[in-house]
């Protein structure tokens, strides 16, 4: 048994009945769905009408930068888990990059993450919250629908984020935040750069986020187990570079506050490498690591499973 402990998060979910995260209905979300279809249409247009290796290079570079500095460092390791400290201007820049992924605004991301995290650590939860409905149905649910729980738990976002005016602004305008980049890309390379640098990038980011979420909660190897939890995170090693280290999801479930997700030699974690480089030049500090971290929401029930590895391939 490897003890993890109980450092309690500032973002908190209030306990309710057992069925609070089990009973609900999945319904079509028009805005979410139309946003995805619009980005998909732009991506297909780019592939069909504006194919160029330069535009593809722009797509690759900008997508990698947004996933690394925005999604992994800004939205996940900083905004959601506060796993390192940095100046406020840098935090804002990283979180703004995270909005460029095209998933939601920062407060919306926090709310959805806290609900999923809370639900997955219960004894059971709705299939929508645990990616448990099968591959194609889960794709439809996650990309085009939303879950309406009958009696949802109360989620309180800590005031430093909920009352932050910049985050409130991003929450109201998160779709419009693609416009500045779209204008720059148009001035730089015309519609080809817009289709590839904005539409294809957002489509890839949103689709990839769902794909990794599906596999990281259903298929992969497990080294740690959170006892009694409805969902166990799984490590997907081959995605470690593509996801900037986010593919080490079993490690993350075990040590959610850790700024380092790839914990062993050979567990490649570009997000951690970037943080180490930024720490070296004085941009970040106080990087949290598993050795001094206690498990989230007061739970002390994570155990080491060296001989219970499961592989989806």
Q: Is residue 305 situated within a structural domain?
A: no
Q: Is residue 266 situated within a structural domain?
A: no
| Confidence at residue 18, expressed as pLDDT on a 0 to 100 scale | 54
| Confidence at residue 2, expressed as pLDDT on a 0 to 100 scale | 38
Q: Where are the alpha helices (DSSP H) in the chain?
A: 30-49, 53-65, 88-99, 106-120, 127-130, 135-144, 159-162, 165-173, 178-194, 201-216, 249-254, 270-280
| Confidence at residue 312, expressed as pLDDT on a 0 to 100 scale | 29
Rounded Cα–Cα distance for residues 57 and 34 (Å): 27
Q: Is residue 293 situated within a structural domain?
A: no
pLDDT along the chain (313 residues), means of 10: 31 53 93 97 93 94 97 96 96 97 95 91 91 94 95 88 96 97 96 96 96 92 85 91 94 92 93 97 94 46 40 29
Say how many residues make up the chain.
313
| Confidence at residue 287, expressed as pLDDT on a 0 to 100 scale | 95
| Confidence at residue 294, expressed as pLDDT on a 0 to 100 scale | 52
What range defines the domain where residue 201 resides?
A: 18-224
Q: Is residue 148 situated within a structural domain?
A: yes
| Confidence at residue 94, expressed as pLDDT on a 0 to 100 scale | 98
| Confidence at residue 292, expressed as pLDDT on a 0 to 100 scale | 52
Q: Is residue 233 situated within a structural domain?
A: no
Q: Is residue 42 situated within a structural domain?
A: yes
| Confidence at residue 284, expressed as pLDDT on a 0 to 100 scale | 97
Predicted TM-score of the model (pTM): 0.86
Q: Is residue 97 situated within a structural domain?
A: yes
């Amino acid at each position: 048994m490897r003890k993890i402990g109980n450092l309690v998060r500032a973002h908190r979910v209030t306990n309710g009945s057992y069925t609070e995260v089990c009973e609900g209905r999945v319904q079509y979300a028009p805005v979410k769905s139309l946003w995805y279809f619009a980005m998909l249409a732009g991506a297909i247009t780019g592939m069909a009408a504006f194919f160029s290796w330069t535009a593809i290079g722009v797509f690759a570079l900008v997508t990698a930068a947004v996933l690394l500095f925005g999604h992994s460092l800004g939205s996940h390791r900083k905004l959601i888990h506060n796993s390192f400290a940095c100046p406020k201007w840098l935090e804002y820049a990283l979180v703004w990059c995270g909005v460029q992924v095209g998933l939601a605004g920062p407060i919306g991301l926090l709310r959805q993450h806290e609900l999923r995290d809370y639900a997955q650590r219960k004894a059971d939860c709705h299939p929508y919250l645990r990616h448990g409905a099968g591959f194609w149905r889960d794709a439809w649910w996650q990309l085009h629908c939303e879950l309406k729980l009958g009696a949802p738990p109360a989620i309180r976002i800590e005031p430093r984020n909920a009352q932050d005016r910049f985050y409130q602004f991003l929450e109201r305008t998160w779709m419009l935040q693609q416009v500045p980049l779209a204008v720059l890309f148009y001035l730089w390379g015309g519609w080809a750069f817009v289709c590839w640098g904005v539409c294809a990038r957002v489509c890839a980011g949103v689709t990839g986020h769902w794909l990794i979420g599906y596999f990281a909660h259903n298929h992969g190897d497990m080294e740690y187990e959170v006892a009694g939890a409805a969902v166990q995170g799984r490590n997907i090693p081959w995605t470690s570079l593509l996801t900037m280290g986010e593919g080490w999801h079993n490690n993350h479930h075990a040590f959610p506050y850790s700024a380092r997700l790839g914990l062993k030699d050979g567990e490649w974690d570009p997000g951690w490498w970037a943080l180490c480089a930024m720490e070296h030049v004085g941009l970040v500090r106080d990087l949290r690591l598993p050795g001094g971290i206690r498990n989230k929401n007061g739970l002390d029930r994570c155990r080491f499973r060296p001989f219970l590895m499961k592989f989806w391939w």
